[in-house]
Amino acid sequence: MAKVDIRDIAPGKAEITIDDTVVEVRGLSLHRVAEIVGRYPAILGFLQTGGVEDPMALLTSLPDAAIEIMAAGVGQAGDEAAIAALREWELAQQTDLLTGVLGRTFRGSAGPFVRTLLAAAARGAKGLQPGPSESAPISPPSSAEPSSA
């Protein structure tokens, strides 16, 4: 295998389809993810502790952070017009784009991360704290159902 200078490797891209329109997405760098998460103390706190101290702050932070992730994933980070447009998209469209960007960012391993954030938001909306089995901040919620014999 030939050696390649890392400066010759371009960021990867993928094409996803949203409502019959092909959109090119790329994964985010570690620095970009840290920058976005760092702007939202409620999300950062959740990632650090696995707990939800201020449920409303988490619930209001998640959509804004997701919009920033989507904009960055299509090469329009910080573009206020693009961010405003993304805010008006339907949830299904936003979910498709966010899934594409996170899938590229985490190379298919975003599922547990996203499920954990959504579970935390749901717990926060109900005023609940994580139970003993939910204490790890990035572990996915258990989907095991008791069997009925």
Give the pLDDT band (50/70/90) at residue 43: confident
In a domain, 147, yes or no: no
Residue 13 has pLDDT above 70, yes or no: yes
What is d(CA 19, CA 107) in angstroms, rounded to the nearest whole number?
Answer: 23
More confident residue, 6 or 50: 6
Q: What's the pLDDT at 103?
A: 86
Residue type, 31: H
Residue 1 domain flag: no
Domain count, the chain: 1
Mean pLDDT score of the chain: 79
- SS3 per residue for 48-80: HHCCCCCHHHHHHHHHHHHHHHHHHHCCCCCCH
Q: Give the range of the structural domain holding residue 121, as residue numbers without chain letter.
A: 13-129
How much is the pLDDT for 115?
A: 62
Tell me whether residue 142 is in a domain.
no
Whether 74 maps to a domain, the answer reads yes
**Rounded distance between C-alpha atoms, residue 113 and residue 140, angstroms:** 7
